[in-house]
Structure 1
Amino acid sequence: MSATSTTCYVVSFLYDEKSLADLGKLNSTLTEAGYRTTLLDDEGHAHELGTNSFGYVTALSEEEVLHQAKGLGEIALGKDRIPQVEVKEWDPAMYKNQSK
């Protein structure tokens, strides 16, 4: 049995928001799929990721997360409004000042 390491990613969505319902649909779809709106650093402090950004802890590669996130965005917003998606590895230092 091999050990699989996990990586924490921040996935951000950019799309033409037509109403607050779009944000609700995206949040609902992603949280049902295991994405989070906050992440904890090594000291246990919670960090809000911001509107249209979600954390995801997985053994998938960055490319696989990107593909999955695009599909979820399409489910939430419709085939005619596929969002742009950016995936980065989680860096708690970027959010240090937000938790205080």
Structure 2
Amino acid sequence: MIGLTELLSAPSSDTPLIVVADPEDWRMNWALAQRVRAEGEMLVAAECASELRQLAGVRTLPPFARAHAGRAWATSQGSAPRRVLLPGAPD
């Protein structure tokens, strides 16, 4: 797992990565966010519902995900979001 800053300075690789960044960082690196959206999987915490629309391009109401309970939405290559439980999160 790496941060967005480390990804931008790292050499190109075909190795799958998990990139963690806050929504503002993704907006500042819009081209990279769009590449992840098109080619990979994007995970958006339930606390950031408005970013699901902005960053992942979701225009429909996603499945309910309780905020502050380790819930998130995952969308892969532009697919409809699905609700996921983050590892180590409380039930």
Using the size of structure 2 for normalisation, the TM-score is: 0.23
Using the size of structure 1 for normalisation, the TM-score is: 0.22
Higher strand share goes to which structure? 1
Q: Which has the higher contact order (CA 8 A, sep 6+)?
A: 1
Larger Rg, first or second structure (1 or 2): 1
